[in-house]
Chains A and B, each alone.
Chain A
Amino acid sequence: MPHPNKPTGDVSRALVDLNPPELAKFQQLEAACEYFDQSDEALIQILHRAQELFGYLRDDVIRFLAKRLRMPLSRVFGVVAFYSFFSTVPKGRYIVMVCTGTACYVRGADKVLEAFQKELGIQVGQTTVDGMFSLTTARCIGACGLAPVAMIGDDVHSALTPDKVKTILQGYR
């Protein structure tokens, strides 16, 4: 493998073998790199876009970005690993994010989290076998007035109790 710091010519040439939907995603990612002028300081913003497109930050996506932005792979991976928003493993269709911030903690978030774990049959950080749900926790999503809360996809579910969990999940199945 050539040194990642060295320009490798037109990186998009390596993409011709990809199937059309994959290619489209990489082209959109290219566009994002263009938009930010390939600048080093936009790495986090570009990684956000990459995760939006691919669902998670795959190995080949990270390598692609390192080449495209002409920076060492370690630099890209270092940033990916540092921030909790970035994931290098696939996520389910819906991300169930149970808030465990202080207000939610005081109002019983631990019981709600247990109910989600029981209902989904997975632990925090795991994804259900059918690929539908991933379970994560958040430090605070800023909806403290309605604690305890959880986000599923973009929806915020408020004033949760363990017995509401089953019905709520049913709505997404």
Chain B
Amino acid sequence: MTPDELNAWREQTRQAMAFRNAPGQDTGPLPGGIEKELLICAGGACISSGQPSVEDALRKALAKAGLDDRMRIVPTGCMGACSLGPLVRVLPDDVLYVNLGPDDVAAIVEEHLVGGTPVGRLLYRPADDADPIPRLADIPFFAHQEKIVLSNCGLMSAESIDEYVGRDGYQGLAKALTAMTPQQVIDALMASGLRGRGGAGFPAARKWQMLADAPGDEKYCICNADEGDPGAFMDRSVLEGDPHRIVEAMTLAAYATGARKGYVYVRAEYPLAIRRLQLAIQEARRTGLLGRDILGSGLTFGIEIRVGAGAFVCGEETALMASVLGQRGQPQPRPPYPTQSGLYGKPTIINNVETLANVPAIILRGSEWFTGIGTEGSPGTKVFALAGKVNLTGLVEVPMGTTLRQVVETIGGGVPEGHAFKAAQTGGPSGGCIPADHMDVPLDFDSLQALGSIMGSGGLIVMDDTSCMVDVARFFMDFCVEESCGKCPPCRVGTREMHGLLSDICTGRADDETIPKLEALAEVVRASSLCGLGNTAPNPVLSTLRHFRDEYDAHIVDHTCPAGVCRDLLTFTIDYDLCRGCRLCQRNCPTDTIFRVDGEKKYRIEQAGCIHCGTCLDVCPFGAVKRE
């Protein structure tokens, strides 16, 4: 294929994509007489909420109404609003239907597609008694986002190279190959200030430059798709919803740096992502966008997929390379850095999925466009996986520097009623917690670091007053204990000891010495571990100690857990006045420690035998069991 042929291909498919390239504008019927397109989100979350049965019902209903030749159903990648799924977006009207079931589709076909009026009861409502918002662009969750990385996710079929080309796909590559030298590609990336989205925020172009400058012909580039941070799923969505973007970006990296071969290291937990990426690689090869003489430029490049096998440490560069070569994924000391001695001992770069996903747009639209978004130190956007105790969960992409408050309250709709925001956890097991009084912090690399947290891969988990921050620290330490590869003692032994100290606090066995010990140990583990896993393992502890010291003190000094999570510190009692004597608690108590109050139809808990399991609280229909 030549660049001209690619352009002709794009022009042809652009017509078929007219609705999607300008949502909300009716540009007249598409080729083939298509009057409406029904985009149905086929992201992982929507599939598990029942998207297949909704799609099936929709196809049948369209056929029954005789509309299937004028209206087209397009299963797309993730639209982002996971808690509202299954989702259907009608174009060109740009009306979004939420939380659909198979029984709802008949109304959409009759009232909207035939009758022309959107079905009010199936639209998004900010609150139960609020007016529905029909247009996607008016829903706050979407209105405040700016999409670069996710610009195609949710707007096209992930399994169609045609649609990617119709969304300006491979145009960045064509521009680089025809009008730019490899050094100009690196310079453009350098000027854009793109920083690695996988965690540390290292400038992507610096890595590329080092690889380009490295001697020798044999060089490699690796895409790190081992998205191990619990709470982050943006890489999964990109691979499942827009896999060609990664193929294009890696080919750009190959052109700029001289790498001959690329590997994508994907975690085994993402079978759909693996399948779609495999298909994308095949399609690109078939159409001459991968392989020999790409777009007539003489560039030769191929990509292979390597599937991981469940080890968090493999997200670390040197461990990842060991795993790509079929070894145990244990890290190596650095230096030498991968750009000096990586895969097979040859110069190698490793870029995260989200970092790479920015590259084609930067090359196509220029670095000035990119630096116009975000902040000076952190240009561009960041995708956050918003989850936890927040009304709307899912993937959101916002310009860097957007405040935490805007993300949680405006986009996410705040925490569910009756509870209060307590903290947001960012950066997974290497990150920290941001408390409520810092809600106006701009989300960028440097501001988060100043608060003792990190951007990390972009997991953003909202916690309310039902989360105990000591238990949260223990939760992450438990993760690090389990995932430590065992190679170096500070990490292998240190995390275990820290976990023990945290458990002491949660179970009321801690004393004045516990926190100083914890802090000293944290410093040793941070400073002397071999790789990033160990270096950052103390972060959740240090950040909760910094912002929630009062909760630690409550556990240690007062032997209480303010959030009511640490069971050993709780006391369960039955309120005499509220008890109706139904005996449910007594029958369910696993230690038979609930007894009848003498001579009365009331019950009480004998504290000596209580194991604080909370069963009585869960089963009491009258709310008579109290937890303190």
Contacts and interface: CB of A to CB of B under 8 A. Distances in A.
A143 B44 contact: yes
Contact of B388 (A41, A84, A107, A139): A107
A157 B231 CA distance: 17
B229 A147 contact: no
B28 to A, nearest CB: 36
Which of A41, A42, A155, A156 has the most chain B CB atoms closer than 10 A to its own CB? A41
B385 A144 contact: yes
B47 A42 contact: no
Contacts of B151: none
B230 interface: yes
Interface in B291-327: 306-312, 323-327
Contacts of B504: none
A142 B309 contact: no
- Nearest first, the 5 closest Cβ-Cβ pairs linking A and B are A145-B82, A101-B230, A156-B48, A83-B309, A140-B230
A61 to B, nearest CB: 15
A145 B393 contact: yes
B48 A48 contact: no
Interface in B418-441: 425, 428
A78 B386 CA distance: 37
Given A82-B328, A106-B463, 16 more contacts: A42-B326, A45-B326, A83-B310, A85-B309, A86-B309, A139-B312, A139-B482, A140-B269, A141-B269, A142-B44, A144-B82, A145-B45, A145-B387, A147-B393, A149-B48, A158-B48
B527 to A, nearest CB: 26
A78 B388 contact: no
Interface string B182-203: 0000000000000000000000
A84 B329 CA distance: 12
A79 B327 contact: yes
Interface of A: 39-45, 47-48, 78-79, 82-86, 101-103, 105-107, 138-147, 149, 154-158
Contacts of B425: 102
B475 interface: yes
Given A44-B309, A83-B329, A138-B269, A147 B388 contact: yes
B134 interface: no
Which of B268, B425, B483 has the most chain A CB atoms closer than 10 A to its own CB? B268
B37 to A, nearest CB: 24
Contacts of A47: 309
19 contacts: A39-B326, A44-B306, A44-B326, A82-B311, A82-B330, A83-B310, A102-B230, A103-B461, A140-B233, A144-B232, A144-B233, A144-B385, A145-B83, A145-B233, A145-B386, A147-B393, A154-B271, A156-B48, A158-B45
B45 A48 contact: no
Interface string B460-493: 0111000100000001100100110100000000
Interface in B177-235: 227-233
Contacts of B389: 106-107
B326 A155 contact: no
Given A102-B428, A144-B233, A43 B326 contact: yes
Interface in B211-266: 227-233, 236
Interface in B373-427: 385-389, 393-395, 425
Given A138-B269, A155-B48, A102 B231 contact: yes
Contact of B229 (A140, A143, A149): A140
A47 B394 CA distance: 34
A104 B106 CA distance: 34
B328 A78 contact: yes
A144 B387 contact: yes
Given A44-B326, A107-B388, A140-B229, A145 B311 contact: no
B403 to A, nearest CB: 21
Nearest to B324: A41
B367 interface: no
B200 to A, nearest CB: 20
Contacts of A146: 45, 48-49, 82-83, 393
Given A106-B388, A155-B48, A44 B307 contact: yes
B142 interface: no
Contacts of A157: 48
Nearest to B231: A102
A83 B310 CA distance: 5
Nearest to B305: A45
Nearest to A147: B387
Contacts of A40: 325-326
A78 B463 CA distance: 39
A79 to B, nearest CB: 6
A147 B385 CA distance: 12
B548 interface: no
Contact of A48 (B233, B268, B387): B268
A107 B83 CA distance: 14
A42 to B, nearest CB: 6
A95 to B, nearest CB: 12
Which of A44, A84, A155 has the most chain B CB atoms closer than 10 A to its own CB? A44
A134 B352 CA distance: 33
Nearest to A155: B48
A84 B327 CA distance: 14
B483 A142 contact: no
Nearest to A43: B326
Contacts of A156: 44, 47-48
B169 interface: no
Given A41-B324, A78-B328, A83-B311, A142 B269 contact: yes
A44 B196 CA distance: 28
B48 A143 contact: yes
Contacts of B309: 44, 47-48, 83-86
A141 B394 CA distance: 14
Which of A84, A102, A158 has the most chain B CB atoms closer than 10 A to its own CB? A102
A103 B390 CA distance: 10
A149 B306 CA distance: 27
A103 B83 CA distance: 13
B141 to A, nearest CB: 12
Nearest to B229: A140
Contacts of B461: 102-103, 106, 144
B331 interface: no
Contacts of A149: 48
B118 interface: no
A89 B326 CA distance: 22
A142 B393 CA distance: 12
A144 B268 contact: no
Contacts of A83: 308-311, 329
Contact of B326 (A41, A106, A139, A147): A41
A44 B314 CA distance: 13
Which of B324, B328, B329, B482 has the most chain A CB atoms closer than 10 A to its own CB? B328
Contact of A79 (B229, B268, B326, B459): B326
Nearest to B482: A139
B237 to A, nearest CB: 9
A28 B596 CA distance: 66
Nearest to B227: A142
